């Protein structure tokens, strides 16, 4: 095997639109730090007709359609697009099934995973469900277990995924680690993060702005957030929801909600940062969430956050710069806490100050540096863990360097 490291995903790693931009940002940071290069580039437009044919054959054979991406036929076709030398490299893949471990082993390469969720957790009736035929699910779970058994390292983005890798997929615990990803937000050179709330009193002299980012607006809790906003308004607090992403037709003209539509993060980075900075809190009340990159983006911009502290989302909500609610909390419960926050200006100042302190830790460069440490030493001495709070993290960093 060569010493070259490459980065794989189902799609083109060099395209910022591939899987929410996560492989792209990781690749750019890994390149800059000379940790990995060799981006895998899969042209998914070439899969359109094979997908239709595959689904047609399934129907003719009496099977339900769907799940082509998890089929052996799909794997054969996308692997055929990849140069042979990449299979001989040490691979870091963002996908549970791609590339198949058997092909990597045959070529003399090495397989490593960096995952936000397991296929098992996505098909276990826990809310993040892929709607797939039973036989496709069975085949996908088998390939997942095979890939993890052959993987040298399995790095997860959150603790709940690490538990699934071990408990549901049978991976050896000694090769499983958790490293928080970075935010998909690059701050301009010389940018100075504000360390205080926006001017004027939120909720009284100006609107208290609850920020929301997400294409899958229903699962990510936009209706819930609007209910929180309505409750605060009934109590006399001036509150609006500012939302980026798809505009749902039934909410497009909803009072108290301002939609900015989709923001192209690559071509309009300033517009996205400006959107984030207009918010008092970045909110993500997902019923189910593999991680929650948007909460990291808000924190990277120096904006405190709020959300349901469950599944992967629990790892992105620092207690010193955000609200951590149980998923059983009602809109009224959340409004209670937000109202107390609005009446406590010193707490608002502390949240914003801590959010700004979190910002430099939530980069892809930091993520890659932790991965480099894992590769070199087999562990990370003081990984960034927002769920413990900033003070705890800084104490660990300080003691580890003394």
**What span, in angstroms and rounded, lies between the C-alpha atoms of 283 and 203?**
17
In a domain, 185, yes or no: no
Residue 199 lies in a domain: no
**Angle formed by the axes of helices 331-342 and 345-358, nearest 10°:** 100
| Claim to verify: residue 156 and residue 37 sit in the same structural domain | yes
Domain containing residue 88: 5-178
Same domain, 105 and 36: yes
Q: Using N-to-C axis directions, what is the helix angle for 48-60 and 72-79, rounded to 10°? A: 160
Copy the structure tokens of residue 303: 């904006």
Decide if 301 is inside a domain: yes
Domain count of the fold of the chain: 3
For residue 35, the tally of other CB atoms under 10 A from its CB is: 17
Residues 222 and 166 in one domain: no
190 falls within a domain: no
pLDDT in tens, the chain (402 residues): 346 999 999 999 999 889 989 999 999 999 999 999 999 999 999 999 999 999 999 999 999 999 999 999 999 999 999 999 999 999 999 999 999 999 999 999 999 999 999 999 999 876 566 788 999 999 999 999 999 999 999 999 999 999 999 999 999 999 999 999 999 998 998 899 988 998 999 999 999 999 999 989 999 999 999 999 999 999 999 999 999 998 888 898 899 999 999 998 777 878 999 999 999 999 999 999 999 899 999 999 999 999 999 999 999 999 999 999 999 999 999 999 999 999 999 999 999 999 999 999 999 999 999 999 999 999 999 999 999 998 777 666 655 543
81-to-14, 42, 73, 78, 276 alpha-carbon distances in Å: 15, 6, 13, 5, 38
197 occurs within a structural domain:
no
One domain for residues 351 and 378: no
Q: Burial of 84 by CB count in 10 Å (0-12 exposed, 13-18 middle, 19+ buried)? A: exposed
Q: Which of 157, 178, 199 is the last residue of a domain?
A: 178
Residue 315 lies in a domain: yes
CB atoms within 10 A of CB 64: 14
160 in the same domain as 28: yes
Based on the domain organization, do 265 and 397 belong to the same domain? no
Cβ of 126: how many Cβ atoms within 10 Å?
Answer: 12
CATH code of the domain covering residue 313:
3.40.50.2000
The pTM assigned to this predicted structure is 0.93
Q: Examine the domain organization and report whether 149 and 279 are in the same domain.
A: no
Considering the domain architecture, whether residues 263 and 233 belong to the same structural domain is answered as: yes
Q: How far apart are CA 149 and CA 93, in angstroms?
A: 15
CATH number at residue 63: 3.40.50
Q: Are residues 351 and 391 in the same domain?
A: no
Q: Is residue 195 part of a domain?
A: no
Say if 67 falls within a structural domain: yes
The C-alpha torsion from 145 through 149 and 155 to 158, rounded to 10°, is 40
Q: Distance (Å, rounded) from C-alpha 205 to C-alpha 40?
A: 52
Q: In 219-344, which residue ranges form alpha helices assigned H by DSSP?
A: 222-234, 269-277, 293-300, 331-342
**Residues 303, 382 within the same domain:** no
């Amino acid at each position: 095997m060569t010493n070259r490291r490459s980065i794989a995903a189902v799609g083109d790693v060099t395209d910022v639109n591939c899987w929410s931009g996560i492989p792209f940002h990781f690749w750019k940071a890994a390149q800059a730090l000379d940790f990995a290069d060799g981006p895998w580039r899969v042209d998914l437009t070439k899969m359109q007709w094979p997908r239709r044919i595959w689904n047609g054959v399934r129907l003719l054979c009496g099977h339900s359609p769907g799940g082509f991406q998890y089929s052996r036929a799909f794997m054969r076709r996308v692997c055929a697009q990849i140069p042979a030398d990449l299979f001989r490299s040490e691979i870091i893949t963002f996908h549970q099934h791609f590339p198949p471990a058997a092909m990597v082993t045959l070529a003399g390469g090495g397989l490593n995973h960096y995952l936000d969720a397991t296929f098992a957790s996505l098909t276990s009736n826990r809310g993040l469900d892929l709607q797939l035929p039973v036989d496709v699910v069975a085949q996908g779970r088998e390939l997942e277990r095979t890939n993890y058994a052959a993987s040298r390292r399995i790095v997860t983005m959150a603790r709940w995924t690490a538990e699934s890798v071990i408990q549901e997929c049978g991976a050896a615990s000694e090769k499983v680690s958790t490293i928080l990803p970075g935010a998909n937000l690059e701050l301009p050179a010389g940018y100075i993060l504000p360390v205080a709330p926006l001017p004027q009193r939120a909720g009284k002299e100006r609107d208290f702005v609850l920020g929301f980012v997400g294409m899958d607006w229903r699962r990510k809790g936009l209706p819930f957030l609007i209910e929180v906003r309505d409750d605060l308004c009934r109590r006399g607090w001036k509150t609006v929801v500012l939302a980026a992403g798809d505009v749902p037709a039934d909410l497009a003209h909803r009072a108290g909600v301002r939609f900015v539509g989709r923001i192209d993060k690559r071509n309009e980075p300033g517009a996205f940062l400006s959107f984030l900075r207009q918010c008092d809190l970045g909110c993500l009340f997902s019923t189910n969430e593999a991680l929650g990159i948007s909460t990291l983006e808000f924190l990277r911009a120096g904006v405190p956050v709020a959300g349901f502290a469950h599944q992967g989302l629990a790892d992105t909500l620092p207690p010193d710069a955000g609200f951590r609610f149980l998923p059983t909390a009602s809109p009224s419960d959340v409004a209670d806490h937000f109202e107390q926050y609005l009446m406590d200006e010193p707490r608002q100042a502390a949240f914003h100050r801590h959010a700004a302190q979190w910002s430099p830790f939530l980069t892809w460069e930091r993520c890659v540096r932790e991965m480099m440490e894992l590769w070199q030493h087999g562990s990370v001495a003081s990984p960034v863990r927002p769920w413990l709070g900033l003070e705890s993290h800084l104490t660990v960093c300080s003691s580890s360097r003394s």
